């Protein structure tokens, strides 16, 4: 009897034959299981990177430091070595790589908060209903959690804190280059609308000593801001205000910055926010939207396209094209002046119409 496990160039038609592995199926398998990769990175929840360094350390010592099972942690680190987050220098002995160091809490490039948020129950359960959002054309967060996303955050402070830290991480890393690559030379008073904990504003003020700043966000957010804004030299050049930008924004600024804010809102609410900025800004003022632009033509802008799906599921927001930003600004009494590409995001610069 023929051994059907033998390799043969002749197709075998017997029903006992194994089905040949298909390249498309393998590729789909890789795509389908990317959630496993995200979960492995999301184990940053354990604080593993915080107790590791470039010094080779046995897994049992790491497990003791983070309060984990030695065998299970070894299996996790073995997988993370394939992601270049750690390196296994000998059996059961690991070091932290440069990439993995960005999962440390104290890293200037830290993405730990974002990894924790994307793997939180609130986030995972929401994205699991993407198909429902596509069927209905609107966000599913309320259907999944019983309240719209911002209402839910106010009622669940632990989730809100995790979300805020995640957004601080991703916004800071995507937008940090605009402090150097956008010309703030003509600005004097910068209002950071929806600026979270103030990490970006702190960086901009440090880079541009002539600037004064106002950090403006929800009261519960600005109760715990970046200490750099409230202590030391920057405290003399910055004030912190709590409020609701759907109702009003601080007046008198010549530059209003909304970094990764407008993509969270539908056109109606975005128009309201931008109109408040238009009415509040000083004569010859400008509004800056730091966003990841959706390309006008099909292109490899993968980040924009998948972030757009996240906006669809969560909050009825969207990533917008240049034409869509132009129309949005027109409805808000503003005019698109130019778009300044930066390393992480683009700055959509608008002036009074």
Q: DSSP letters along 23-73, please? A: HHHHHHHHHHTHHHHHHHHHGGGG-TGGG--SS-EEHHHHHHHHT--HHHH
48 or 2, higher pLDDT? 48
Structure tokens at 154: 């106010």
CB 187 within 8 A of CB 207: no
E strand or H helix that includes residue 255: strand 255-259
CB 159 within 8 A of CB 182: no
E strand or H helix that includes residue 215: strand 212-217
Does 8 score more than 50 pLDDT? no
Could you tell me the sign of the dihedral formed by the alpha carbons of 144, 150, 155, 160, in that order?
positive
Helices (H) and strands (E) in the chain, counts: 17, 10
Q: How does pLDDT run across 121-179, given as a tens digit for each residue?
A: 899 999 999 999 999 999 999 999 999 998 999 899 999 889 988 888 887 788 888 99
Contacts of 270 (CB under 8 A, 6+ apart): 262, 328, 332
What share of the chain has pLDDT > 70, as a percent? Answer: 93
Question: Residue 239 to residues 98, 169, 250: CA-CA distances in angstroms?
Answer: 36, 22, 11
**Confidence at residue 3, expressed as pLDDT on a 0 to 100 scale:** 40
CB atoms within 10 A of CB 2: 10
CB 315 within 8 A of CB 261: no
Angle between helices 322-331 and 267-280 (to 10 degrees): 60
**Residue 258: pLDDT band by 50, 70, 90 thresholds?**
very high
Give mean pLDDT, residues 107-113: 91
CA distance 287 to 238: 19
Active site includes 263?
yes
**Residue 19: pLDDT band by 50, 70, 90 thresholds?**
low
Comparing 53-62, 115-124, 257-266, 293-302, the range with the smallest average pLDDT is: 293-302
Does 46 score more than 60 pLDDT? yes
CB atoms within 10 A of CB 144: 18
Structure tokens at 275: 């109109």
Comparing 99-113, 119-133, 158-172, 240-254, the range with the smallest average pLDDT is: 158-172
**Residue 9: pLDDT band by 50, 70, 90 thresholds?**
very low
Does 339 score more than 60 pLDDT? yes
Identified catalytic residue from 129, 145, 210, 263: 263
**Confidence at residue 216, expressed as pLDDT on a 0 to 100 scale:** 97
């Amino acid at each position: 009897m023929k051994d059907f496990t033998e390799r043969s160039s002749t197709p075998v038609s017997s029903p006992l034959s194994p089905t040949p592995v298909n390249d498309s199926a393998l590729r789909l398998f890789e795509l389908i299981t990317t959630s496993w990769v995200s979960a492995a990175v999301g184990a940053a929840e354990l604080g593993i990177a915080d107790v590791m360094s470039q010094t080779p350390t046995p897994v049992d010592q790491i497990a003791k430091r983070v309060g984990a099972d030695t065998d299970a942690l070894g299996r996790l680190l073995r997988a993370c070595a394939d992601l270049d987050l750690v390196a296994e220098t000998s059996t059961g002995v690991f070091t932290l790589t440069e990439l993995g160091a960005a999962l440390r809490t104290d890293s200037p490039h830290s993405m730990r908060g974002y990894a924790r948020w994307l793997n939180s129950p609130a986030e995972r359960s929401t994205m699991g209903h993407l198909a429902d959002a596509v069927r209905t054309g609107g966000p599913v967060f309320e259907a999944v959690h019983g309240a719209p996303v911002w209402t839910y955050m106010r009622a669940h402070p632990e989730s809100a804190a995790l979300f805020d830290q995640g957004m601080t991480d991703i916004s800071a890393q995507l937008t940090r280059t605009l402090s150097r690559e956008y010309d703030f030379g003509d600005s004097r008073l910068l209002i950071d609308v929806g600026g979270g904990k103030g990490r970006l504003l702190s960086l901009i003020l440090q880079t541009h000593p002539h600037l004064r700043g106002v950090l403006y966000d929800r009261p519960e957010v600005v109760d715990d801001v970046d200490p750099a804004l409230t202590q030391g030299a920057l405290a003399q050049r910055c004030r912190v205000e709590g409020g609701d930008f759907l109702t009003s924004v601080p007046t008198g600024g010549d530059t209003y910055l909304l970094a990764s804010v407008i993509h969270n809102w539908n056109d109606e609410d975005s128009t309201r926010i931008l109109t408040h900025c238009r009415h509040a800004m000083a004569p010859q003022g400008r509004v800056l939207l730091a966003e990841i632009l959706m390309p006008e033509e099909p292109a490899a802008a993968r980040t924009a396209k998948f972030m757009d799906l996240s906006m669809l599921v969560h909050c009825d927001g969207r990533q917008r094209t240049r034409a869509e930003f132009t129309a949005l600004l027109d409805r808000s009494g503003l005019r698109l002046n130019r778009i300044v590409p930066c390393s992480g995001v683009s700055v959509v610069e608008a002036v009074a119409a």
